[in-house]
Structure 1
Amino acid sequence: MKNIFVDGYNVINSWPELKIIKDYSLESARSELIETLSNYAAYKGYKIFIVFDAHMVNGSVEKKEKFGNGNVIVVFTKEGETADSFIERMINQVGRKIEVSVVTSDSLEQQLVFQRGATRMSSIEFYHEIKGIERKIKSKIEKSYSKKKYSLEDMINKDILEKLEKIRRSN
């Protein structure tokens, strides 16, 4: 299973929709990101870690919470630890053992994680990846829905259909 580490605030500040939401409520922007990535993780079968900085929050301890089917884990870092340093620490542990990708637009962070065995993707590249998957899901749903449409002939008895046809032709 591919693991993706996402610098949460970096993504929120890069994606157009999330930037707008953030202007009204940072909590709402976080929730929207979590929901979007939960759908993506379920569709692709990936495990996603969304990491939010709490390094400036006095007394904060590292917190992890699972979402969706457990494939999305939201991490709030402890006091004094940035999202970048948390991601680097995790990549050091698993970077060359499993398939790992990091989503951030921080170019220094991209270089560091690449050196440690992870692939990297900018927040905007990830945005376009997500939008492409959302279009595929929407198209799949629309196709599935259109296949379920039935005509009158499919829904009524053949004898009744023949009688209706005779009535129609006699007028």
Structure 2
Amino acid sequence: MRRKLNSYLVIDGYNIINAWDDLKEISKYSLEDSREKLIHYMIDYSEFTGKKAIIVFDAYNIKNSKEKIEKRKHITIIYTKEYQTADSYIEKFISTLSKYDEVKVATNDYAEQQIVLGKGASRISARELKLDLEAAKEKIRERTSSQYKKIQRNFLEDRLDKETLSKLENIRRNR
């Protein structure tokens, strides 16, 4: 059996924003800020998991909008053109990939999930993505914490009893 070539996580951006309480709350005041927060979450997730993350934001109702592709650290952000939904972009995108690529699509849209499954990709709900993201963050914290412990100070004074320390201090002061 052949090995998978690439591992992709394709995210229906606005669908996820509307499904996660923290992002939904931010979007009430600033859609741009909620997009940026999702993007930063996915950069961390992608960096940790090694999956190529593609976030698709549709511009279906935005007059004269052209497709825009933005590359950032570990991820690609797509803003679709006018009259193109994120769903249609995602369907077209996964059709261009190799059958050996591992593709997961994150969306709560049931119809989109069925189409994605029919094209050979797997689906992940917004809730499952949130749980995966939280698990990855926890592993990052654990890794960072263990690395920090390794570089913590290692001084002789931390390992000596008070009496010995006092004698050494007296010697240091030439008493």
| Normalised TM-score (structure 2) | 0.85
Q: Would the aligned equivalents of 2:53 and 2:76 in 1 still touch at CA under 8 Å? A: yes
CA displacement at 1:150 relative to structure 2: 2.2
1:166 aligns with 2:171: no
Q: Would the aligned equivalents of 2:13 and 2:55 in 1 still touch at CA under 8 Å? A: yes
CA displacement at 1:168 relative to structure 2: 7.4
Number of positions where the alignment pairs a residue of Structure 1 with one of Structure 2: 163
Q: Would the aligned equivalents of 1:101 and 1:120 in 2 still touch at CA under 8 Å? A: yes
**Whole-angstrom distance in 2 between the partners of 1:140 and 1:97:** 31
- Residue segments in structure 1 that go unaligned for 5+ positions in a row: 156-161
**Whole-angstrom distance in 2 between the partners of 1:3 and 1:152:** 46
Alignment RMSD (CA, Å): 2.3
**Whole-angstrom distance in 1 between the partners of 2:157 and 2:7:** 44
**Whole-angstrom distance in 2 between the partners of 1:8 and 1:100:** 16
Aligned counterpart, 1:114: 117
| Normalised TM-score (structure 1) | 0.87
Range that drifts further, 144-153 or 73-82:
144-153
**Whole-angstrom distance in 1 between the partners of 2:107 and 2:157:** 52
Sequence identity (%): 38
Aligned counterpart, 1:25: 30
CA displacement at 1:164 relative to structure 2: 3.7
Aligned counterpart, 2:13: 8
**Whole-angstrom distance in 1 between the partners of 2:41 and 2:157:** 38
Aligned-partner SS, 2:42: helix
